[in-house]
A and B are shown apart, each in its own frame.
Chain A
Amino acid sequence: GEEVAQTPKHLVRGEGQKAKLYCAPIKGHSYVFWYQQVLKNEFKFLISFQNENVFDETGMPKERFSAKCLPNSPCSLEIQATKLEDSAVYFCASSQSFRGDEQFFGPGTRLTVL
């Protein structure tokens, strides 16, 4: 597609439940990025992929967060045993390359953990 698509738009989970978010990058883009935006507008990088391979996962809280980009499937970000502090908007972005190329963002998924 011509735009980055993210589903669902909103997700509500009880503390301790699992949350799974999906992202379809722009067709032809090889790189996918996940960012977390918390209430004070700050963006935190989580993980990036080059096609189906993890490129950089330095931002991932590894004990509960995992992500995948499989061929012919939307990319996914999964949070096991959600915590209150996981409440945020999660954005996916895609780009044609990693170095200095435009990253285009999706509309985000708002996760609320109660």
Chain B
Amino acid sequence: GENVEQHPSTLSVQEGDSAVIKCTYSDSASNYFPWYKQELGKGPQLIIDIRSNVGEKKDQRIAVTLNKTAKHFSLHITETQPEDSAVYFCALNSGNTPLVFGKGTRLSVIA
């Protein structure tokens, strides 16, 4: 089945700096790429997503880029704040398959 590699597994940034998390995949049929934020003891929260016909999408301080040729997509968080600290998961699906998740990135924003 499809496999998603997510890097890095942990990331520490100073408040106000940017954070970038990258995921790579192998199935060229993948066409939907969401990102989830999971805080301790809570369910994953969808924060942004992108579909295969778009190369970039931005929502305030969060952006996602997709390179279908190279089969990777990235989450960019600018002007990080302490409340951005959480575990972030990339995911994808292709056609009728369920979501496949990366293994998560623990982001710590240091005030």
Contacts and interface: CB of A to CB of B under 8 A. Distances in A.
Interface of A: 4, 6, 33, 35, 40-43, 45, 48, 56, 59, 91, 98-108
Interface string B23-64: 000000001101010000011111001010000000000000
A75 B15 CA distance: 42
A43 B46 contact: no
**Chain B interface main SS type:** strand
Contacts of B99: 33, 35, 43, 45, 103
A41 B99 CA distance: 15
A41 B104 contact: yes
Contacts of B98: 33, 45, 48, 56, 59
Interface residues of B, number: 24
Nearest to B30: A100
A100 B95 CA distance: 8
Interface of B: 31-32, 34, 36, 42-46, 49, 51, 87, 89, 91, 93, 95-101, 103-104
Contacts of B104: 41
**Chain A interface main SS type:** loop
